[in-house]
Structure 1
Amino acid sequence: MNAFNKSTIFFGIPKLPARYGSLVMPLLLSILMTCIVSLISTFNGIGLTPDFASKWLRAWGVSWLVAFPVLLLALPVVRKATAALVHTY
């Protein structure tokens, strides 16, 4: 594998520098978590109706808009709490 392939993700898109990891991780986590939780919540609330997809996408968008900034603010606190509770070897 050549160096170009190692520095790209998909379809030739270059990887971001490591300094963006503290933003990319909460971004991906918030997308995944809000997707799953809003899907289950919407399905539980209205069932599989004809307008399910539009209602779910609206719920997902709103929940992501809240979750991403909350994750950015909460992760430093959670990391400190985890470090206080877990041994480091």
Structure 2
Amino acid sequence: MPLLLSILMTFIVSFVSTLKGLGIEGFTLIGWLSAWALSWLIAFPTLLMVLPLVKKLTAYLVHS
């Protein structure tokens, strides 16, 4: 689940930020995919490190 979540989230966010930053005229598929790959390389390990804390916080909030 974390793998697919990180792929989908970074795919969408990098698309929006690349499009906003470059505009329609400057937008290219290669540029977007390059931005997506870099963002995924950062997001996936971060997600794996933060996931246990998020699970604990969620359990605490639900049971409080």
- Calculate the TM-score normalised by the size of structure 1: 0.67
4+ residue runs of structure 1 moved beyond 6 angstroms?
none
2:63 maps to what in 1? 87
Q: Which has the higher helix share?
A: 2
In the TM superposition, residue 87 of structure 1 has moved relative to its aligned partner by: 3.0
- Calculate the TM-score normalised by the size of structure 2: 0.91
**How many pairs are equivalent?**
64
Confirm whether residue 40 of structure 1 aligns to residue 16 of structure 2.
yes
The RMSD of aligned alpha carbons is: 1.6
Higher relative contact order (CA 8 A, sep 6+): 2
Equivalent position amino acid for 2:34 in 1: R
- Unpaired segments of 5 or more residues in structure 2? none
Cα distance in 1 for partners of 2:45, 2:24 equals 30
Counterpart of 2:25 in 1: which secondary structure? coil
Identity of aligned residues (%): 59
Larger radius of gyration: 1
- Unpaired segments of 5 or more residues in structure 1? 1-24
